[in-house]
Amino acid sequence: MNSFIIAGREFRNLFLSPLAWTMLGVTQLILAYMFLTQIDYYLSIQPKLVGIPGAPGVTDLIVAPLFGNAAVILLLITPLLTMRVISDERRNKTISLLFSAPISITEIVLGKFLAIFAFLLIILFFIALMPLSLLTVGELDIGKFLACLLAMALLMASFNALGLYMSAIASQPTVAAVASFGALLLLWIVDWAGINSGNSSSLFEYISIMRHFENLLRGLINSSDVFYFVLFIVGFLILSIRRLDNDRLQK
């Protein structure tokens, strides 16, 4: 309940600055362009696909790549969204408003998380409109489409949780942005080592966000992948709570 109060204010605050609007606009523009090129590509190879039994369909060739591209863009913009949620409050000393109100640290962190997640869901909604527009001219594999949406939502929540944690550690928003971007990118590419020689580490493969995300995009909803994301989100949320709680214990 209290989390929603904080989330509500934080969410409205997002739209008071041009940042949120710019992000919505830019993301949509770039993804629409990518969507268009994907359609173009599909149309060019469509005649060849007709003859092949079990060939990939619209969902595989247009929708999944679209969400894959969206993930990269999110990698770039989520740190900018999350960077100021906690570090700004700390810098402006408004955090004491929350600390002296009858609200637990968990509720504060959850509130911040929900606000950013709500904004990301708006982005997801607008992304999802693009594949849905294909329904006017053809058919979609709805199951795979929903898997993509799930993958996207989980990915967004994970980026969000990590960004939130970085914002809780950093004293300056820009530091938080750079740190979360670096961490996310590293987690994205961590399985690249040894991928060509064929002796890649299975640990790195498990850590890599990319692996789990791609499994889901392909329509394979594996509980271990979902579990990875849930663990990731919960883990960073707990770390954020601990970190914020530390503010009061500071030595």
Partner 1 sequence: MSTLIEVNNLSRQFGDHCAVNDVSFSLDKGEVLGFLGPNGAGKSTTMKMICGNLTPTVGEIKINGYDIIEQPKLAKAELGFLPEIPPLHPDLTVDEFLTYCAKLHGLKKTAIKKAVDQGKEKCGLSDMGKRLISNLSKGYQQRVGIAQAILHNPAVIILDEPTVGLDPIQILEIRELIRELGQQHSVILSTHILPEVQQSCSRVQIIHHGKLVLNESVEGLSRRMTSSSLVVDFRNPADLNQLEAINGVDYIDVLDSHQLRIHHEQGSNIAEAVAELAVNQRWGLQELRPEKHDMEQIFLSITQPSNDHE
Joined together, the tokens standing for residue 246 give: 């530390």
CB of 172 to partner 1, least distance (A): 18
Size of the site for partner 1 (CB under 8 A): 24
Q: Is 13 in the site for partner 1 (CB under 8 A)?
A: yes
Least distance (Å) between residue 37 CB and partner 1: 39
Which residues within the stretch 65-124 sit at the binding site for partner 1 (CB under 8 A)? 92-104
Interface with partner 1 includes 17 (CB under 8 A)? Answer: yes
The Cα 41–Cα 37 span in angstroms is: 6
Nearer to partner 1, 51 or 102 (CB): 102
The answer to whether residue 171 forms part of the interface with partner 1 (CB under 8 A) is no
Q: Which of 91, 111, 92, 83 is nearest to 11 (CA)?
A: 111
User: Which two structure tokens, joined as six digits, stand for 237?
Assistant: 């949320």
Stretch that binds partner 1, among 6-14, 129-137, 197-205, 234-242 (CB under 8 A): 6-14
Q: Measured between alpha carbons, how far is 147 from 155 in angstroms, rounded to an integer?
A: 12
d(CA 210, CA 158): 12
Tokens representing 243 are 């970190």
Residue 212 to residues 136, 205, 217: CA-CA distances in angstroms?
A: 31, 9, 9
Nearer to partner 1, 2 or 200 (CB): 2
CB nearer to partner 1: pick between 101 and 203: 101
Binding site for partner 1 (CB under 8 A): 2, 5-6, 9, 13, 16-17, 92-104, 248-251
